[in-house]
Structures are given as structure tokens and as C-alpha cells.
Chain A
Amino acid sequence: QKEVEQNSGPLSVPEGAIASLNCTYSDRGSQSFFWYRQYSGKSPELIMFIYSNGDKEDGRFTAQLNKASQYVSLLIRDSQPSDSATYLCAVTGNSGYALNFGKGTSLLVTP
């Protein structure tokens, strides 16, 4: 079983701070990495994806990938209360179609 590990949280950060969400994965063959945001009672919403080692920035979000350490992270700058949600890390499996999801990290941004 390919594993994707995330701290369940809750991770609490004050408004305006940087939130750092982390994910490790067990399958060295994984090629693509995704971050989804899921509000309570809603469906997962794609935030970012990253394929290459290094950083990828999109607005307030930065994804960081280190394949050697099998580690992917999501940084949220200037965190807002509306960012309070569960963040799911997903990693491609062997078939190229399946995604292996972590159980998610709950983020709480306090005003």
C-alpha cells in the first residue's frame, strides 16, 4: 500500500501569518503531487499541483517538492480566516490514473 502521510492537526495560525502544511509519501516512483482544499461538507478543490523538484508559486500559495526526501509542502502566505479548511495531499500511483490521498491536515486561521 502506497502511503501518504499528513499531520491531522488542527494547525492553528493567526491571521496574516504563514501556514506550513507538510506531506510525506512512500512511493519513490510517484511523479506528480497535488494539494486540494476541502471545506467541511464540501468536495475537494484543487489548489496546486507540482511535478518538478523545487518551488512553485501561485498567488499566496507555494508548493515545495523534494523528491529525494519524499516530501511535499504547501505554504500559505498572509493566511485568512477563509483559508480555514482541511488540506489534502495527493500523490500519483503506479497506474498513472490513481491518486493516493493523505488523510488531510485541518487548518484553522484565527482572526
Chain B
Amino acid sequence: NAGVTQTPKFQVLKTGQSMTLQCAQDMNHNSMYWYRQDPGMGLRLIYYSASEGTTDKGEVPNGYNVSRLNKREFSLRLESAAPSQTSVYFCASSRGQVSNQPQHFGDGTRLSIL
């Protein structure tokens, strides 16, 4: 009964390094999301995938890319990490549109960029 699984849980990078955050869900959900959470800023949507094969930008997509690998997996890539990307990253999933299906979150990845 894993739900939404994120790896890694913690990571420290140097400025300019690249990194892929992994997310997988076992709830047969259609939609998946990546958020970042910063102190005083709340949760902000980076990218989402409404269904397998589609991705769309959220509020703060700059500096990130995503891949919806299959229905279960949605990855987030930082091509050239910057200190401003130090944050806690949450992956979430929902059965469909959140207008009638709540989102469920993974445990998060705590990422520090030095």
C-alpha cells in the first residue's frame, strides 16, 4: 500500500549539476504533479501530467523538465541546478481532474544546491 513513492528522499548537489527526481504511484491514477515548497511561499506547481503522454507547465516551470514515462511514473529533471532550486519537492497524483478527485502526495525530496 505504497501510494506515491519519491526517490531520493534527500540530495545535495553542486551548482550546475544535473539531477532527476523520480516519482511512482501504484493507485492507477491518471494525473500526476510536481510541486515545490519553500518557507513562506507555500506549495507551487512546477509541472503536471493530466494523463499518460501529456505534460503541462504550472506556475514555476523554469529550470525544470519532466517526463511522464508511463502511467505510473513521472520524473522531474534539473538540467543545471541553481541555489534558487533548493527546496522540498513533492510529487502528487489524482485519479483525474482535481475538480472532483483529490490529490495524494508522496513523502517529498529535500534538495539542497550548494
Q: Is A71 an interface residue (CB 8 A)?
A: no
Quick check: A98 and B58 within 8 Å, CB to CB?
Answer: yes
Q: State how many residues of chain A have any CB contact under 8 Å with chain B.
A: 23
Quick check: B107 and A42 within 8 Å, CB to CB?
Answer: yes
Knowing A88-B43, A101-B43, the reply to whether A43 touches B98 (Cβ < 8 A) is no
Q: State how many residues of chain B have any CB contact under 8 Å with chain A.
A: 26
> Could you count the A-B residue pairs with CB atoms below 8 Å apart for me: how many are there?
59
Quick check: A92 and B42 within 8 Å, CB to CB?
Answer: no
- For the complex, what is the distance from the CA of A95 to the CA of B51, rounded to whole Å? 13
Per-residue A-contact encoding for B77-114, CB less than 8 Å = 1, 0 else:
00000000000001000100111101111111000000
- For the complex, what is the distance from the CA of A104 to the CA of B40, rounded to whole Å? 9
Residue in contact with B103 in the complex, picked from A42, A51, A95, A99, CB distance below 8 Å:
A99
Which residues of A have CB within 8 Å of B56?
Answer: 95, 97
Knowing A32-B98, A43-B107, the reply to whether A97 touches B50 (Cβ < 8 A) is yes
Identify the A interface with B (CB < 8 A): 31-32, 34, 36, 42-46, 49, 51, 88, 90, 92, 95-99, 101-104
The list of the 8 closest CB pairs from A to B, nearest first, reads A96-B97, A103-B42, A101-B43, A43-B105, A101-B42, A96-B99, A32-B99, A31-B99
